[in-house]
Structure 1
Amino acid sequence: MTNWTELNRAHWDERARPHAESPEYGIERFVADPTFVSDVVRFDLERLGDLRGQRGVHLQCHIGTDTLSLHRLGARMSGLDLSGASLEQARSLAARTGAGIEYVQGEVYDAAQLLPRGAFDLVFTGIGALCWLGDIRRWAGVVDALLAPGGRLFLREGHPMLWSLADPRADGVLAVDFPYFETAEPLVWDEPGSYVTTDHAFQHTRSAGWNHGLGEIMTALLDRGLTITAFEEHDSVPWDALPGMMEQLPNTEYRLKDRPERLAHTYTLQARKPA
């Protein structure tokens, strides 16, 4: 049986340095400008609200640009990721910017054993994270275990309808080809490149992922006793998700050129643990 965790760890370990060196992640801009925050965090600034003094944890933090951005908004941040190579880049960025961020290596499902239980006012999960997890109910249990009473989950993700679409077609038709709901076995991809600008010739090209329907995600959180306090679907996404069919917006997000109202591209969900 294939160890999907190890497959994905190798995938992300190899991408850590090329991502940190790419223009898309803007590492040098973070270093040069102490007020700079990532495009992902900037999109949700009003929804995030005042984070000053809050203790936060960023699950699946990758190279730490969103984590640093939340730190710059006033939260006392920790970050957790599967990839040791990604955390090397995250720690380097924190050191170069003088940010006191704690980074811990481990699987999401082990987070409540690796981080203080019930200690966080904010659990943050960003774009392109849940698709690497095979069991959304276990994830919801981890969120519940980490949150302090009254604490908040903040999640922005690619919409499961976007993840279910086939590759772009010449006739512009949006065709559903992949599962919308969680499946026992993952979809396995074999892709030579990455989503950033890089000349790196990747050796670890295979990865495994899962989709999760909106109902599955919300039900998993509700079953843990959390209250969903906000949910918004968006007609934009922070990368060129359907090449040839999308246009870039002034806020650096992308959306369908033709009738973008046809597709929910991403969503923001907030949930709170009862006080």
Structure 2
Amino acid sequence: MMSDYRGLNQANWNDRAPLHADSLDYHFDDFRTDPSFLSHVVRFDLPRLGDIRGVDAVHLQCHIGTDTLSLARLGATVTGLDFSPASLAEARKLADAAATPIEYVESDIYDAVSALGGRRFGLVYTGVGALCWLPDIRRWAATVAALLRPGGRLFLREYHPVLWSIDETRTDALTIGYPYFETAEPMVFNDETTYVETDSTVANTITHEWNHGLGEIVEALLQADLTLTQLVEHDSVPSNPLPGRMVHDDQWEWRLIDHPERLPLSYTLQARKG
């Protein structure tokens, strides 16, 4: 029987949203004061993202909207979608402060097609830290395909599933501690902290998460009749998932201090429909 992962995870993200908006990590003040400021996640992939001026895009699992606003600043017409009303409240406040029209829709990703009224887009964008909250990667790929018009593309940057399989509590070695492949049952975590610098904690501490192997993700997209056009693995990530073992560069990317070539940390994937 499937867990109540939506309710548990939504409550957790509702707690996280104001903490993230108030943290320096999400750079709300920079977005408000500098009309050219882009999120570090979007800036990292600019050479691969290319010219998106005039493209109608949907940002799935958009959270508090910093990547969404960045896509809009690059010239796209963007709709953001997320299941957390608290996250969308922060995203709307940021867009208003930046005087940028962005439509935000509250919906679980699996209900995105109906929530968006059957609209199709030239670009489906998903940023880091999204897929681990979904139990079924094939259903995700089918949703992406249904949201794309012919010729439209998916743009995804994600944490690498090899990284997500590493036990972060083991600081003496890189040790596999979690599933690499998608499992029927979720990994259950109980954590009152979040990934930004904050003295506050969350009240709803239980989350349910899944890993998805890189082959599973690619195969799901192929089965949804999408054509893979790019897959690049990176030795860096825009956060610090292995505390004490990583260092960040001037682009706000984190790498292993010791032999970073040992571990893929993230990847950028693109696929096209039709």
Instruction: Give the TM-score of the pair, scaled to structure 2.
Output: 0.98
Number of residues paired by the alignment?
Answer: 273
> Any residues of structure 2 matched to 1:52-63 within 5 Å, and which?
52-63=53-64
Task: Report the alpha carbon displacement of residue 249 of structure 1 after superposing the two structures with TM.
Answer: 1.3
Per-residue CA shift, 1:16-42, capped at 9, x if unaligned? 111100000010110000000000000
Q: How much has 1:198 moved relative to structure 2?
A: 1.4
Superposition deviation, residue 206 in structure 1: 1.0
Hey, what's the Cα distance between the residues in 2 that align with 1:106 and 1:254? 31
After superposition, the CA RMSD in angstroms is 1.0
Partners of 1:169 and 1:183 in 2: CA distance: 23
Percent identical residues:
57
Residue 243 of structure 1 deviates from its aligned partner by: 0.7
Amino acid at match of 2:102: I
Matched, 1:224 2:224: yes
- Give per-residue Cα distances to partners, 1:205-256, cap 9 Å, x unaligned: 1111000001110000001110000000000011111111111112111101
Question: SS at the partner of 1:92?
Answer: helix
Distance (whole Å) between structure 2 residues aligned to residue 168 and residue 248 of structure 1: 20
1:179 corresponds to 2:179: yes
Structure 2: 5+ residue runs without aligned partners?
none
CA separation in 2, counterparts of 1:216 and 1:78? 27
Q: Does structure 1 conserve the Cα–Cα contact (< 8 Å) formed by 2:128 and 2:157?
A: yes
Misfit runs of 4+, over 4 Å = none
Which deviates further from its counterpart, 110-119 or 63-72? Answer: 110-119
- The correspondence of residues 1-275 of structure 1 with structure 2, limited to 5 A, is 2-117=3-118, 119-171=120-172, 173-274=173-274
Q: What whole-Å deviation, never above 9, does each CA across 1:112-162 have from its counterpart, x for those lacking one?
A: 001143520000000000000000000001000000110000000000000
CA contact (8 A) 1:116 1:146 kept: no
Gaps of at least 5 residues in structure 1 are: none
Give the SS at the match of 1:11. Answer: helix
Matching residue's letter, 1:49: G
Distance 1:180 1:169 in 2: 17
The one-letter code sitting in structure 2 at the alignment partner of 1:122 is L
Q: Is the partner of 1:57 in helix, strand or coil?
A: strand
Q: Alpha-carbon deviations, 1:22-76, whole Å to 9, x = none?
A: 0000101100000000000000001000000000000000000000000000000
- Alignment partners' CA distance in 2, 1:269 and 1:108: 19
Letter aligned with residue 147 of structure 2: L
In 2, Cα distance between the equivalents of 1:164 and 1:201? Answer: 25
Give, in whole Å, the separation in 2 of the partners of 1:110 and 1:168: 35
Q: Are the counterparts in 2 of residues 82 and 106 from structure 1 also a CA contact under 8 Å? A: yes
Aligned-partner residue type, residue 112 of structure 1? V
Distance 2:119 2:112 in 1: 11
CA distance in 2, matches of 1:116, 1:55: 15
Q: TM-score, normalised by structure 1?
A: 0.97
8 Å contact kept, 1:7–1:207: yes
- Structure 1 residue 168 displacement after superposition: 4.6
